Structure formats: C-alpha cells, structure tokens
Chains A and B, each alone.
Chain A
Amino acid sequence: MNKSDLVAALAQQADLPQRKSEDIVNLVFETMGKALLGGDRIEIRGFGSFTVKEYDGYTGRNPKTGDRISVKAKRLPFFKTGKELKEKVDEAV
C-alpha cells in the first residue's frame, strides 16, 4: 500500500471527498515528521512509537583501504511496534 492507496481507502471509510482525504493524510505525516524533526517522540497507543536516536561523530576507517575517515554526528528516527499491533501481526496467518 502506498500513500495514494491510503488516501483512497480513507476517503471511502470515512466518507470524505478524495481531496479532503489527501489533505488529511498529508497533514498527519507532516505533523509526525515535524515532531521528529524537533527531536520529539511520537506515541500512538496500540500502533507504535517513534523516537529519534542521536549518534556522536567518530573517526572510523574505510575497511577496504584502512584510510581514516571522520563520520559526522547524525540523528536517525526509529519505530517500535506497539503491543497490540505486534500481537495481531504475529497471530495472523
């Protein structure tokens, strides 16, 4: 499923015009993206949570050539599956 499938499914299930459904889907993921960008967590009961992990920069080596390279500090978002979703996905055959 991609974003346009989600827009179509939401329009149908929530009885919304396609255009409105699209605005909502975009706004939901934009809101979530902004929270992560600001370093905030997202917690959705029964679904899962998102966190942003911070990594310090370090000096590493290119394993092939042995050259020293500096790896910059970075942030990466992670998702942890919620209990309900985790159980249901595993139970489904």
Chain B
Amino acid sequence: MTLTKADIAKKIADDCGFMKGEATEIVEKLLDIIKQRLIAGEDVMISGFGKWTVKSKHSRRGRNPQTGEELILDARKVVTWKYSPVLKKAVNSSLSK
C-alpha cells in the first residue's frame, strides 16, 4: 500500500471537518511551506517524525559507469532526511524481540 497526498487530504477532511477540496489545498500549502524553506537552504525539523537537512556537496571527479569516461561532477546541494528516534522506535515496535 502507498499513502499519497490524496489519502492525507482525505484524512484531514474527515477528521477536521473540511471539504475535500479545502483539505487538498491545505495539504498543498503545508508541503509548499516545507519545500520553500528547503529551497532557501533551511533545515526543517518535525519533532516525533524527522528532520530534513540541506547539504552542500563538493564537486568531485566521477566516472560514467557505462562508458568508463571520467567527468567532473559539479558541486550541488541535496536534501537528506533523518528519522526521529521516536519514529524509529514506533516503526520497530511491531518487530518480535
């Protein structure tokens, strides 16, 4: 099973008393706020869930694995995410010890 934006919007609509369209718009806005902060290079931490961090990678020499050709990979910025200890514990709680 895969949880999608539509599933999250439906949950918001059902539990918080919004029309489906309104709920979809709210979820879009929420995701957009997180995106804009990350684009601005800011970290976003949601306690109990996890933390997104923007990392700067140096340029480096790489290789095209198919042709073996050497090339320079430019410096770039990437988003990483690390689960919170609370989420890790919850995800593992159903495992038999």
Q: A residues touching B (Cβ–Cβ < 8 Å)?
A: 1-3, 6, 9-10, 13-14, 16, 20, 23-25, 27-29, 31-33, 35-38, 40-48, 52, 72-79, 81, 85-86, 88-90, 92
Q: Assuming A1-B43, A33-B87, A73-B95, is B31 touching A44 (CB within 8 A)?
A: yes
Given known contacts A31-B11, A40-B2, A44-B31, what 17 new A-B pairs fall within 8 Å (CB)? A10-B33, A23-B16, A27-B15, A29-B46, A32-B3, A36-B90, A37-B90, A40-B3, A41-B2, A41-B3, A43-B3, A43-B4, A78-B81, A79-B81, A85-B35, A89-B78, A92-B41
Instruction: Tell me if A44 and B54 are in contact (CB < 8 A).
Output: no
Q: How many pairs, one residue from A and one from B, have CB atoms within 8 Å of each other in the complex?
A: 137
* Docked-complex contact B3 and A89, CB < 8 angstroms: no
Which B residues are closer than 8 A to A by beta carbons? 1-5, 7-8, 11-12, 15-16, 25-27, 29-31, 33-35, 37-50, 52, 54, 76-81, 83, 87-88, 90-95, 97
Task: Determine if B39 and A31 form an interchain contact, defined as CB atoms under 8 angstroms apart.
Answer: no
Task: List, in ascending order, chain B residues with CB within 8 A of A90's CB.
Answer: 76-78
Within the assembled complex, what's the spacing in Å between the Cα atoms of A9 and B35?
A: 13
Supply 28 A–B pairs (Cβ within 8 Å), ascending by A: A2-B45, A3-B45, A6-B46, A13-B29, A14-B25, A20-B16, A27-B11, A28-B12, A28-B27, A28-B30, A29-B48, A31-B7, A32-B3, A33-B87, A36-B91, A37-B93, A40-B2, A48-B81, A75-B91, A76-B88, A76-B91, A77-B83, A79-B50, A79-B81, A88-B35, A90-B78, A92-B41, A92-B77
